[in-house]
A = this chain, B = another copy of it.
Amino acid sequence: MIEVEDRGRVRVLRLARPPVNALDPALLARVAGEIHDAPSAGIGACVLTGSPGMFSAGLDVVHLLGLDRDGLVSALGTFFDAMEALAASRLPVAAAISGHAPAGGAILALFCDWRVMAEGDFIIGLNEVQIGLPMPDVVAGLLSRTVGYRHAEELAVSGRLLTPAAAAAIGLVDEVAPADAVLERALAWCEGIVRLPARAVAATRATTRSDLIELVRRSRSADVERLSREWEHPEAQAVLRATVDRLKSRSAGR
């Protein structure tokens, strides 16, 4: 589900759950676990990437629709575990966004320290509102600290998805590169980091992200409670099921 490859002191974590790297609890637990384990192996920085053309399509809605309330609460908990692991790691993490990154895919990327996205007909953004779900507090805070309140508010309320160039223009990603250069760009960013005094890097990352770590921990309980409740609301269920039907008929048509 995740392919791990060390390139010197940089560890590459590649999401590999076909066809769209949908984030189910097992994959999210692996993300959290790999991020937790990386520092002990002498690694100085990580790259999080996906498959060609697909970073991650976000939470696995088909899986989640099959769960009862307790199962949903537990699944959302693993998402918070992955977010907290990325927020609080000793090691900087660069996101090599290899393709589409809507919703949960964008969220994982935004928890990284630096983002490069593949050029091409790809989208990134926080489209929760389009599928009938309110934006969680943790995502609203994450988005506003990345692109500022003005863009965050407009993106959240409209649910707009952006091209790589539009994302770079407002700082949702830091750089756009040809698809076959995205991993190398992320590795180059990491090479700059692993040359630095490790203790100072870890302490500095903890200082500049103290607001983010606090945000994840503070939001967790209320966000999980609200999301699992809103998930069951008829408005959300109707949109979610229509979305899944559309995805299934599209797959069947291939």
In the complex where A113-B153, A153-B113, A230-B203 touch, is A130 in contact with B196 (Cβ < 8 A)? yes
Q: Can you list the 3 inter-chain pairs with the closest CB atoms, starting with the nearest?
A: A134-B203, A145-B149, A132-B197
Q: Mark A160-202, 1 if CB is under 8 A from B, else 0.
A: 1000000000010010000000000000010011001111110
Within 8 A of B (CB), among A190-233: 192-193, 196-201, 203-205, 207-211, 230, 233
A128 at the interface (CB under 8 A from B): yes
Report A193 CB to chain B, min CB distance, Å.
6
Within 8 A of B (CB), among A148-164: 148-150, 152-154, 156-160
A60 at the interface (CB under 8 A from B): no
Q: How many copies does the complex hold?
A: 3
Asked if A133 contacts B208 (CB within 8 A), the reply is no
Give the nearest-CB partner of A209 in chain B. B153
Taking CB atoms, residues of chain B closer than 8 Å to A146 are 149-150
18 contacts between A and B (CB under 8 A): A114-B154, A129-B196, A132-B197, A134-B203, A134-B207, A135-B208, A136-B207, A140-B204, A140-B207, A143-B208, A146-B149, A149-B208, A149-B211, A150-B171, A154-B174, A157-B193, A197-B239, A199-B236
A34 at the interface (CB under 8 A from B): no
In the complex where A150-B147, A208-B144 touch, is A199 in contact with B156 (Cβ < 8 A)? no
Asked if A148 contacts B134 (CB within 8 A), the reply is no
Q: Give the secondary structure class of A's interface.
A: helix
Chain A interface residues (CB < 8 Å from chain B)? 92, 113-114, 128-137, 140, 143-150, 152-154, 156-160, 171, 174, 189, 192-193, 196-201, 203-205, 207-211, 230, 233, 235-236, 239
Report A75 CB to chain B, min CB distance, Å.
20
Taking CB atoms, residues of chain B closer than 8 Å to A135 are 203-204, 207-208
Measured CA separation A145–B193 after assembly (Å): 23
Q: Which of B154, B171, B235 contacts A148 (CB 8 A)?
A: B171
Among A157, A158, A196, A210, find the residue whose CB has the most chain B CB atoms closer than 10 A.
A157
Taking CB atoms, residues of chain B closer than 8 Å to A148 are 145, 148, 171
Q: Can you add 9 more A-B contacts, CB < 8 Å, to A132-B199, A199-B236? A: A113-B157, A129-B196, A129-B197, A129-B204, A130-B196, A146-B150, A148-B171, A156-B208, A158-B193
